[in-house]
Structure 1
Amino acid sequence: MSANVTGTTLRSMTHIPPPAEELRLLDTELRQLDARRALLLARRAWLVAALQPPPAPQAPRAPQAAAARRPETTAPGVQNVLLLLGGILLTVAAVAFTVVSWGHLGIAGRALVLGAVTLAALGAPVPLLRRGLRSTAESVAGLGLALTVLDAYALHEVALADTDGLGYAALASAVLATVWAAYGLALGALHRPAGQPADTTGAGQQPAGAGVRLPLRLPLPTAVATAQFPLLLWAAAAGAGAHAFTAALLVTAAFDTLVALRVPVKSVRVVAAVGAYGMGGWGTFAAGWLSWTASGPSAAARAAALLLLAAATAFAAAWHAPKPGVATGIALAGGLITVVGLGGVLRSSLPDDWTVPGYLACGVALLAVVRTRLAEPLRRGLAWASGCVQAVAVVWALPLVGITLLGPVGWAERAWSGSPATARDAVTLDVPWPPHAATAPLVLALVAGVLVVAVRASEWRQQALTCALTLSWATVLALPAALELPYAVGLLTQGLTTVAALACARPTQPQTPPLLLALLSSLGLAFLSLASEGATLTVLAALTVLFAAAARRPGLGPAAAPASLVYATALACAVGASFGWQPQQTALLVLVVPAGAALLAARLGGSSMTVPVEVTGAAAALPAIALTVTDPPMLALVLSLCGVIAAGTAIREDRRSVGYAAAALFVLATWVRLAAWNVGSPEAYTLPVTLPALLVGAVRRRKDMTVSSWAAYGPGLSVTLVPSLFTAWGDTHWLRPLLLGAAALLVVLVGARHRLQAPLVVGGTVLVLDALHELAPYLVQVVDALPRWVPPALAGLLLLALGATYEQRMRDARRVREVLGRMN
């Protein structure tokens, strides 16, 4: 390559080529250099590979064998299992030594052995941690902690055997918890990373909510768990009463809460939180039971103090809770605990009727913090606590409202038996008065007022006002019975409540609760008025007029107009009973309501009230029919009048289908009248149906030629011919079979004349059956001269002649068509 370069250089020195030639020469030289470089790199790679030692030959392994030799656990897992088993075995050995072999040593030997082993176990983690053997140090420290328990036991057996066991256990648990906490903090201080400042917790300065990693995880959580027992054991040892024992639970829970909030070590916080919830829940339930069963203000005050301690602990936890949702829940619990405590004091000081109002007042008082500068989660939790108390109070008062509404239904069986003395007597005919319910209206009114005043948010304002209106209605409704006001005052109050509810109904929103409340209170008022004849007539008349007037307001008609018709129907029945009329006579008065409803619907046209008015009017006719069931002639008259009303409705273009109902009513009226006249011939019942049906069918086929004869004439023909045929089979006279056969023959002839299938099939079938079974023998009895086969034969010849004539005409028509075809 150097010779080529030298030659090129010499040539270039003696001869300078043109630029194009020079560029070509340079490209050639560069390509030669690249080829030489690739050759040298390949040679180098071969030499490197040749200098490396060859790998040892290995037999090929099956994939299954390789998988079988794969480790089934990790090295740290094996280490932890071995350390755990070792710690457990050493602890068992120590227990066995202390319990079994203790008596073989003297006092000095015992103290020397246990002290030495305990100090060795507690001191061993220090060098182990320095060597980085953290897991081994954890196991040895666990053994040391167990040995301290054995030391405490041994000390009691040797030197303090005469002391109380529970008291010694309380002291020992407190000492052990302190020693273990100090031990854990000391290890944390000794093995603090370089450059990290010391702190009082031994955990180092960490951000809020961050967990801290200690050299040993076991001592501090174990100390917190042991700290749950000293106060409880002390209370049990001292024979403390229920209040002292509950106080021990709540103080322990407060300590756990403080630890959970202040210590940044995650494991310690978890153990403390479990203790706080467990001990706090147990203590709160015990304190609540003490408050509920307190026999006087003093006992209730002591229970309230305990509950307030629990509430203060809950509020402190909520104030420092890291998450808003958790803070709201804890504040909700604290608010409820406060209500239970303060309400218990009021309950023990007031009569039983004021128990619920007392608790409710405490719940409402919680709303005072809503306008303060407390954190939003706390204010929200207290507001929810107040809402829960109010909801429970309303549920407690609901049975009284139900009795006020449903209790008067019992007057339906005791109508006009005499007015009761008080409104409470009027609503408690079949149900007892709830105990301590005299203050229920006050509870409902207080909650209604709170909803109006406290709920200001725009998204909840309308719902709050609706609930307040409903509660106010329930308050006024239940007040006369709660105060045992006179019966007349109860009627007047319920009537005014109905009027007020209707007045509050918005015309643009016909389904608002006021309209429903008005209907409910009016219904209860109607039943309540059944105690007296005068009250019944007055109330029903007033309700009829009231709802009729309300129906004139836009939007209220679809509900108010039917209500007016219902009360008008009840008023008609009451007027008939007041005049001493028979039920069938009263039915005629009741029919005024359906007639008026039909006229009103005709005037309303396409209004939204039309259908409800028509349906209610039709339903009002049912009582009239029911009143005349025992009097067939009057029942027939009532059915006829109902048919007239239905026929009048069918005159309207959009109600033509009601004509079928009118026809059915007329037929029913005819049948009832015939039954009243003791008419037994089926034709008297079927012909009034057959003739209109055939007429309607004919009109229908004239308007629509696609309607088949079966749809037009089949039902009408079957209604008469089939029942008459069945009757003719058992008839011993000759007239019915003869007339039936003649009618069937006429039907066949008409069907043949107009080429209708239904008349041919129905009439022919009836004619054949009548002729085969009945007609021939009875015709022989009439003429007494003709053989029995003559009438059927004559009918057959007539049909054959008609058929032949019909066939001849068809043949002639075909011939004419063929001639005309050839002409074309």
Structure 2
Amino acid sequence: MADMSKLVDPHICPDCRASLDPTGTCTRCGLRLVGPAAAELWQRMQQADRLIEQLRAAPATAAPTAGPVVGAVVGAPPVGPMPRAATGDRTAPHRSLPSVSVPVVLLSLGALCLLVAAVVFVAVAWSSLGLTAKTTILLAVTALFGAGAVAVTRRDLRFAAETLWLVVSGLVAIDLGSAYGADLLGLGRLSDRDAVALVGATLLGLAVGAGAWATTTVLRRVHGLVVVAAIGIALLAGAEAWTSDHNPTAVALSVPLLAALALAIDRLTDGHLRSTAGVVGASVLVSWLVLVGNGADRMPTTSVRAWWLDLDGWPLLAAALLAALPAALPLAVPRTRSVLPEWVRMVAAGGSLVTLAMFGVGPGSGATADLLTWAAVSVLLAAVCATAPRVWAWPAAALTVLALVGWSAWALGRPLAVITRLPGTATDEGAHLGITLPAPTGGPAPWTAVVVALVVGAAAAALLRHLRPAAAREAAGRAWIALGPGVLALGATTWLLESRPTLLTAVLVWGATLAVTAAMATTVRHHDAPLAASLVFTAYLVATGLRLAVPSHLLSASSATVLALGFGVAYSRSGAALLRTALLPLLAGSAVLMAGLAGIHWPYLLHGRSDAAGLALAGVAAAALLLARAAGRGEASRVTIEVTALLAGLGATALTSEPTTAAMVLTVLGSAVAAVAILNVDREEASWIGVALLGVATVIRVIEDVRAPELYTLPAAAALIAAGWWRLQRDPGAASMRVLGSGLTLALVPSLLLALDEPVSLRGALVAAGGLVALAVGIARLWAGPFLAGALTTAALAVRHLGPVVDGLPRWISLGSVGLLLLLVGVTWEQRRRDVTVAGRYLAALR
């Protein structure tokens, strides 16, 4: 029997129990017992054999051991309680409430009822009792609940203890309030503030004493007493310090006293009441903030003389000193380093620096003086950031970052206060180079703009120390070098702008600032982050410089032209991999935009108006579209040029004042798009854009009844036809409909629409001649485009000539002609079928 129970047999397949061949393969199911999996299976089967032997060796009458019951069937899951849903027992009870919720709810309601009853008793029945009765009741009730709280604490009843200690604390507060109201024990002689402080001190003492005793019991902690301690310290500090009549002296004294109290609670209880000590420690922060608020309240109401000579701002100095103590104490007493974590010391150091900065700024004394004061404070913070130990340097770095952001925003926004006050548009005549810039009002002296730039540089330099990776520190240093001259030049330029120069002088100086910034950007062209920062600053200078030149068409046109040339040179000379290939498209699009802007302003110098400006912009856009393939350094740059040019051309329609001029703009732009589609195989799909633009232009001409569109449609059509002819000569496989369709449509349709009104006219004869020429070319060259264009044009004119004749014919002739035509079609069906087959082969040869 023992041998039959063996699962391991090297001659039998463990799956189907058939015999194995010498290679370890089953002769029936083909299972191959080779490899790590087979070895693991062998070990598992050996282990199963050992377990079976142990079961057989056990006596049959042995008592079952504790553990899960194993199912009788091999592989069956252990027997256990089935889920109620699976048993289908509909009478099973619903899930009961958590065991914790019942005592919590009952005890909370009981405590609330007791405290309400105590308050009601004091309010209603208190006045009818004598002094002895009052005292006896107060002491008896409070002592009774105190004894109960002690008893449940010793018996380790968590929720009962928490509840009763809260009840005892509430009764103590009610007792003291009642005693104060009834003048028991002379408490009535106290002021309201002192009475509140007495309640707070008593609650705090109760929380500390009861909490310390609870640590000696099995319960160990009573968390409700921490809440009592928080209420007590808030009442005590709030009455005697935070709202004291002796502010801010009492507040300043409360900071070290509360800190010492928190430390004493923690040390005397060996850390068992650390939560209570933490609550008291939190009140230290509140006192410190109140002290800072007291000092800040004095800033707008105190004179500069009283602030500095009489030290009216001493609360800020006191707050700075108190915050500096925990930050500097570990340097003098190394043992305290383990008590105060480094982050606590850093927060304290930051608070000290903030309050010192507030005291240094002091009350306002004028825009220029205030700016210089803030600048001095920022430079001192930067010095601490760059030279102080870590505990002080990191908070100073955070404040320096904020200062850098603020000063940078001021440096960039200060010129706008002058520039935005200039006229938003230029007059149509005159260069207006001698316009005087408006003077700023209510701000600091103009020369302080240079101070702002210097502070920005100092703050940025101080932060270099805190960049840990060497690569980041190097990149930041290069950015500082690249942007520093431009920022300093911006400060000097702002000084000039606020000194009321002429417009020409301001634009020239602003251009010099832009040139300095652009030149310094080339020094960091191989470092992405500094280059990106330089480009952002350059973009700001470009935008604001163009706005500065707006009052003069000459300055605007000249500035835009110089910028277009500059962007073009930078585009042609920049490396393809700069900013991960993103720089070239940016420069290309900028060059197109600046060229378009120059095209808008130059016509005004030639006594043109907005229509001329719109046509000039459309011309620039058309030129950019046609040159995009040759100028594009990569597909991204080419697409950027094309999209920018198309958008600029569409924007040109907004400049026109007449619909007919808008039609001319769309014709120029549509012709350029069509030419691009003709000349470039990879842009053939753009022909639909050209068709749409030319179609809209045609609709506008029809609506506006333009009588001579040939003045600009025929030159554009000739250029498109010439481009299509060139394409067909170079590319025999190109479809003539695609490459010649736009040119033929532009050449014939506008004139045809006018010729239909007057078919017997010179225009009608010329259109008919053009249609016949197109038809002849299509037949001779086997080009479908000219063939269809000529045929449709000729047919339209021929039908239009039949109009008067048809109107004069009797109705029976029309009906008879239709019937005769139908008969002829039916009789000659077979012949026409053969003719259609021949014509089909001919048309198939057309392309």
Q: Under a length normalisation based on structure 1, what TM-score does the superposition of the two structures give?
A: 0.62
Residue of structure 2 in register with 1:355 after alignment: 370
Of residues 167, 177, 183, the one that matches 1:158 is: 183
Of residues 508, 512, 516, the one that matches 1:500 is: 516
AA aligned to 1:308 is A
- 1:280-326 C-alpha deviation (Å, 9 max, x unpaired): 556545543444554441475234135426744885999989999x9
Moved more, 619-628 or 492-501: 619-628
Of residues 288, 307, 311, the one that matches 2:296 is: 288
- Is the 2:424–2:551 Cα contact (8 Å) retained in structure 1? no
Residue of structure 2 in register with 1:412 after alignment: 426
In the aligned structure 2, how far is the partner of 1:104 from the partner of 1:82? 33
AA aligned to 2:173 is V
Shift of 1:446: 1.3
In the aligned structure 1, how far is the partner of 2:463 from the partner of 2:314? 32
Alpha-carbon distance change, 283 to 669 in structure 1, aligned in 2, over 3 angstroms:
closer
Residue of structure 1 in register with 2:236 after alignment: 230
For residues 744-763 of structure 1, the aligned pairs below 5 Å read none
Moved more, 108-117 or 727-736: 727-736
Residue of structure 2 in register with 1:187 after alignment: 213
SS at match of 1:68: coil
- Is the 1:180–1:220 Cα contact (8 Å) retained in structure 2? no
Of residues 451, 454, 467, the one that matches 1:442 is: 451
> Does 1:308 find its partner at 2:320?
yes
Residue of structure 2 in register with 1:346 after alignment: 361
For residues 655-734 of structure 1, the aligned pairs below 5 Å read 689=717, 696=724, 700=728, 704=732, 707=735, 731=758, 733=760
Unaligned runs of 5+ in 2: 1-54, 65-83, 576-582, 701-705, 840-847
AA aligned to 1:225 is I
In the aligned structure 1, how far is the partner of 2:226 from the partner of 2:490? 63
Work out which of the two has the higher radius of gyration on C-alpha atoms and give 1 or 2. 1
AA aligned to 1:150 is I
AA aligned to 1:107 is L
Shift of 1:176: 0.7
Alpha-carbon distance change, 216 to 247 in structure 1, aligned in 2, over 3 angstroms:
same
- Is the 1:424–1:481 Cα contact (8 Å) retained in structure 2? no
Residue of structure 2 in register with 1:462 after alignment: 475
- 1:519-544 C-alpha deviation (Å, 9 max, x unpaired): 65356556646778997898788768
- 1:51-89 C-alpha deviation (Å, 9 max, x unpaired): xxxxxxxxxx99869843986453x65555555555444
Alpha-carbon distance change, 312 to 687 in structure 1, aligned in 2, over 3 angstroms:
closer
Alpha-carbon distance change, 494 to 116 in structure 1, aligned in 2, over 3 angstroms:
same
AA aligned to 2:510 is Q
- 1:438-480 C-alpha deviation (Å, 9 max, x unpaired): 6344233212223224414322441464267446524422434
AA aligned to 2:541 is S
In the aligned structure 1, how far is the partner of 2:838 from the partner of 2:380? 108
Shift of 1:402: 3.4
In the aligned structure 2, how far is the partner of 1:666 from the partner of 1:220? 82
Residue of structure 2 in register with 1:207 after alignment: none
In the aligned structure 1, how far is the partner of 2:653 from the partner of 2:57? 120
AA aligned to 1:222 is V
AA aligned to 1:167 is R
Residue of structure 1 in register with 2:3 after alignment: none
Moved more, 803-812 or 118-127: 803-812
For residues 283-682 of structure 1, the aligned pairs below 5 Å read 284-285=292-293, 287-291=295-299, 294-296=302-304, 297=307, 298=310, 301-305=313-317, 307-308=319-320, 311-312=323-324, 315=327, 328=343, 331-332=346-347, 335=350, 338-348=353-363, 351-368=366-383, 379-403=393-417, 410=424, 412-413=426-427, 425=439, 439-456=448-465, 457=467, 458=470, 459-463=472-476, 465-466=478-479, 469-470=482-483, 472-482=485-495, 484-485=498-499, 486-487=501-502, 490-506=506-522, 508-509=525-526, 512-514=532-534, 517-518=537-538, 520-521=540-541, 524-525=544-545, 528=548, 553-555=573-575
Alpha-carbon distance change, 618 to 424 in structure 1, aligned in 2, over 3 angstroms:
same
In the aligned structure 2, how far is the partner of 1:92 from the partner of 1:596? 89
AA aligned to 1:521 is L
Q: Under a length normalisation based on structure 2, what TM-score does the superposition of the two structures give?
A: 0.61
Shift of 1:384: 1.6
AA aligned to 1:775 is L
Alpha-carbon distance change, 627 to 367 in structure 1, aligned in 2, over 3 angstroms:
closer
AA aligned to 1:443 is V
Shift of 1:400: 0.6
- 1:587-629 C-alpha deviation (Å, 9 max, x unpaired): 9999999999999999979689995899999999999999999
Residue of structure 1 in register with 2:172 after alignment: 148
Alpha-carbon distance change, 755 to 476 in structure 1, aligned in 2, over 3 angstroms:
closer
Alpha-carbon distance change, 259 to 798 in structure 1, aligned in 2, over 3 angstroms:
farther
- Is the 1:315–1:330 Cα contact (8 Å) retained in structure 2? yes
- Is the 1:287–1:306 Cα contact (8 Å) retained in structure 2? no
AA aligned to 1:506 is T
Shift of 1:366: 3.9
SS at match of 2:358: helix
In the aligned structure 2, how far is the partner of 1:517 from the partner of 1:378? 32
Alpha-carbon distance change, 500 to 254 in structure 1, aligned in 2, over 3 angstroms:
same
- Between the two proteins, what is the percent identity of the paired residues? 20
In the aligned structure 2, how far is the partner of 1:727 from the partner of 1:710? 24
- 1:422-446 C-alpha deviation (Å, 9 max, x unpaired): 7664xx7xxx675678634423321
> Does 1:173 find its partner at 2:199?
yes
- 1:315-342 C-alpha deviation (Å, 9 max, x unpaired): 5999989999x96488458525632443
In the aligned structure 2, how far is the partner of 1:584 from the partner of 1:620? 15
In the aligned structure 1, how far is the partner of 2:623 from the partner of 2:273? 84
Alpha-carbon distance change, 730 to 255 in structure 1, aligned in 2, over 3 angstroms:
same
Alpha-carbon distance change, 522 to 117 in structure 1, aligned in 2, over 3 angstroms:
closer
In the aligned structure 2, how far is the partner of 1:711 from the partner of 1:102? 106
AA aligned to 1:445 is L
In the aligned structure 1, how far is the partner of 2:720 from the partner of 2:761? 28
AA aligned to 1:500 is V
- Is the 2:166–2:224 Cα contact (8 Å) retained in structure 1? yes
In the aligned structure 2, how far is the partner of 1:364 from the partner of 1:337? 16
AA aligned to 1:176 is T
Shift of 1:500: 1.7
Of residues 68, 85, 88, the one that matches 2:93 is: 68
- 1:746-799 C-alpha deviation (Å, 9 max, x unpaired): 999999999999899888888887777743866999xxxxx9999999999999
